[in-house]
């Protein structure tokens, strides 16, 4: 019996050892096996003791051992069991913190991304959300801690400058203590090479002195370097500048070629046909009216300046408008052939000849060269809906002017809507045009179209 008590006490002490002592005693599954063996030994020993007691002793009077205390559940932190006890439920107040006070101010910021990787020259922009959503001032203050690596504008658009890493911070303009940080990595730009290119036309027909410009498209459209190399095979017929602006020099035919600067094997060509410029020996009058449009032109030597009669009528119109509380002024008056050449060429260089021909006259075909036309106040089509534009449309005829390029008449006049452009034709003709709703081409029965 004494032996059995000693074994029980030894087992209880072993169970109470901390995990670290278990590890010193052997630890892990091996220690567990030894513990089980010890328990088996205890049970076996107990059985043997009971069987070998003297037969003369009353079994009912056998000394009953004191109940052994329940050992606490011990978890070895080094070798945790497969099914550890469930942790105590978290405090709901910690799981769901109270929302930010709705006092009209910003209390927190979140971003849709906290890491940005861009190539040199490329951009990315995190999306900002400020809380509470009812905050009155959601202005943002963006800064980069290294602008040599990446810059950021006031909208949060991050642009890579040089390879490296930096941090971009956004703060609340309402509460600068509230912020969020983006880790930015800038990598070397990966070049995308040009595979091919095309032109929007394969033939250009121009007269001596006039320009045209084909539009180039390079593929893939995401190519890194879209530089162009232009050349003409006969500069005595037509020249071409580095923008692709082709200008007729002499009568004949030549070929203009464009190559990709990135990949010279990618190229396209256009055939250029240059014809003689029309020789206007004298101006054209129809029914006593000087006519200038796309069909009828003026020689380069026609240079009268502002017509005195038209200028007097203009002054009277400006004074009449002022009496009605309307302020009118001249934006553009007389233009020489040379000035119109400069203006028209710049438009062609910027948008191509087809687009330029809708709103800018070719040299020799501008009414401004007559000295009878004036552009008033603004070159914006919305001018027509302003008080000044509406007054001009309603009253200009009273002073001998006609609205030369009204809405819905482009197919007749050859030019798009210009609510600012007036042309002096005299009171009688101006009244007839106003009453009939016609333009000069309709009134005179003429066309307006460039030859060819």
What's the pLDDT tens digit per position in 217-269? Answer: 999 998 989 999 999 999 999 999 999 999 998 899 999 999 999 999 999 99
What's the pLDDT tens digit per position in 166-212? Answer: 999 999 999 999 999 999 999 998 889 999 999 999 999 998 888 89
User: How far is residue 255's CA from residue 238's CA, in Å, rounded to a whole number?
Assistant: 9
Residue-range domains of the chain with CATH: 1-50+70-81 (no CATH), 108-187 (2.60.40.1080), 196-275 (2.60.40.1080), 285-444 (3.30.1380.10)
Residues 197/258, Cβ–Cβ less than 8 Å: yes
Residue 279 has pLDDT above 70, yes or no: no
Average pLDDT of the residues in 370-381: 96
Higher-scoring residue by pLDDT: 100, 339: 339
pLDDT at 252: 94
The model's pTM is 0.51
Quickly state the pLDDT bin for 11 (edges 50, 70, 90): low
Mean pLDDT: which of 157-161, 208-212, 303-307 is highest?
157-161
pLDDT at 276: 83
């Amino acid at each position: 019996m004494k032996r059995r008590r000693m074994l029980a006490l030894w087992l209880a002490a072993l169970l109470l050892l901390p995990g670290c002592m278990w590890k010193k005693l052997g630890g892990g599954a091996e220690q567990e096996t030894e513990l089980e063996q010890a328990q088996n030994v205890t049970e076996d020993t107990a059985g043997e003791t009971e069987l070998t007691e003297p037969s003369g002793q009353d079994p009912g009077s056998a000394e009953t051992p004191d109940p052994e205390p329940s050992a606490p559940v011990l978890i070895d932190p080094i070798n945790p069991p497969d099914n550890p006890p469930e942790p105590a439920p978290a405090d709901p107040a910690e799981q769901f913190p109270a929302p930010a006070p709705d006092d009209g101010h910003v209390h927190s910021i979140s971003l849709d991304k906290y890491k940005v990787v861009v190539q040199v020259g490329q951009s990315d922009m995190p999306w900002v959300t400020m809380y509470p959503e009812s905050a009155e001032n959601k202005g943002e203050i963006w800064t980069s801690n290294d602008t040599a690596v990446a810059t950021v504008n006031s909208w949060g658009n991050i642009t890579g400058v040089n390879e490296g890493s930096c941090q971009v911070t956004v703060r609340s303009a309402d509460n600068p203590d509230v912020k969020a940080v983006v880790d930015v990595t800038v990598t070397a730009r990966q070049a995308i090479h040009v595979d091919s290119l095309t032109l929007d036309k394969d033939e250009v027909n121009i007269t001596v002195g006039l320009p045209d410009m084909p539009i180039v498209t390079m593929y893939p459209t995401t190519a890194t370097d879209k530089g162009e190399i232009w050349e003409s095979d006969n500069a005595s017929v037509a020249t071409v500048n580095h923008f692709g602006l082709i200008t007729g020099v002499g009568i004949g035919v030549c070929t203009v070629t464009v190559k990709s600067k990135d990949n010279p094997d990618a190229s396209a060509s256009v055939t250029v046909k240059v014809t003689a410029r029309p020789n206007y020996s004298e101006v054209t009058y129809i029914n006593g009216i000087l006519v200038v449009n796309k069909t009828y032109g003026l020689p380069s030597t026609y240079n009268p300046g502002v017509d005195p009669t038209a200028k007097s009528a203009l002054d009277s119109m400006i004074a009449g408008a002022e009496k009605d509380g309307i302020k009118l002024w001249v934006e553009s008056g007389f233009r020489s052939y040379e000035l119109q050449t400069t203006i028209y060429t710049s438009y062609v260089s910027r948008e191509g000849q087809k687009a330029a021909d809708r709103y800018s006259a070719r040299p020799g075909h501008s009414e401004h060269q007559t000295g009878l036309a004036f552009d008033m106040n603004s070159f914006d089509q919305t001018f027509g809906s302003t008080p000044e534009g509406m007054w001009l449309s309603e009253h200009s005829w009273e002073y001998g002017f006609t609205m030369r390029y009204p809405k819905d008449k482009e197919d007749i006049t050859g030019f798009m809507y210009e609510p600012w452009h007036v042309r002096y034709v005299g009171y009688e003709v101006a009244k007839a045009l106003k009453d009939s709703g016609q333009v000069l081409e309709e009134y005179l029965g003429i066309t307006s179209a460039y030859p060819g």
